[in-house]
Chain A
């Protein structure tokens, strides 16, 4: 009963390095999304996907890329890490794009020095 699985749980990067945050769901959900959580800011949408091969930008997309080659996987790529990207990242999925609750992974805590 995995639900949404995120890896890694923790990561430390140096400024300018790149990395990929992995997200996989086993619920056959069409809709997947990435949020970041920062103190006092709540959860802000980075990118989302309404199905395999379809992605779009959220509120704070700059510095991040996504792709959706399968229904199950939705990786988030940081192209050139910056200290402003220090945050906790959550992947989430739902059965459809609106009107159904999101199921979240347990997050990746990223620190960029």
Chain B
């Protein structure tokens, strides 16, 4: 049972435009959500997080939105840059949980 789903395996965006990556979850206990970015031959690196008491969190060009009623979160990157080309994973957890549950990942390609 895939509790965290990223339904788009890939996304292609023009440089300077907005990139929107989506993630859905099924477990209503999740209250902490994270996005990770992964380059080839490297480990995932933490990008941004949001707790369920908020519906938006910003960090520079990156904004994460959380819609608890729809069990949906999204990552917006504005403006997109070539260095943003990577695989993005969303992940979820809850207080007291021993693990992060990851989605399948979305490969973002930024075209010049």
From A90, A102, A103, name the one whose CB has the most chain B CB atoms within 10 angstroms: A102
From the candidates A4, A41, A101, name the one contacting B34 in the complex (CB within 8 A).
A101
A6 smallest CB distance to B (angstroms): 8
Whether B89 lies near A42 (C-beta < 8 A) is yes
Contact B99 A42 (CB under 8 A): no
Q: Which residues of B contact A (CB under 8 A)?
A: 4, 6, 9, 32, 34, 36, 41-46, 49, 89, 91, 93-105
Contact present for A98 and B32 (CB under 8 Å): yes
Interface residue? A112 (CB, 8 A) = no
Give chain A nearest CB distance to B91 CB in angstroms. 8
Determine if A50 is an interface residue (Cβ-Cβ < 8 Å): yes
A→B interface (CB under 8 Å): 4, 33, 35, 40-45, 48, 50, 56, 58-59, 90, 92, 97-99, 101-107
Assess whether B93 is in contact with A99, with CB atoms less than 8 Å apart.
yes
Q: Is the CB of B44 within 8 A of A43?
A: yes
B43 nearest in chain A by CB position: A104
CB contact between B46 and one of A33, A98, A103, A106 (< 8 Å): that residue:
A103
Kindly list chain B residues whose C-beta atoms are within 8 Å of the C-beta of A44.
102
Q: Shortest beta-carbon distance, B93 to chain A, in Å?
A: 5
Cross-chain contact A102 with B95 (CB below 8 angstroms): no
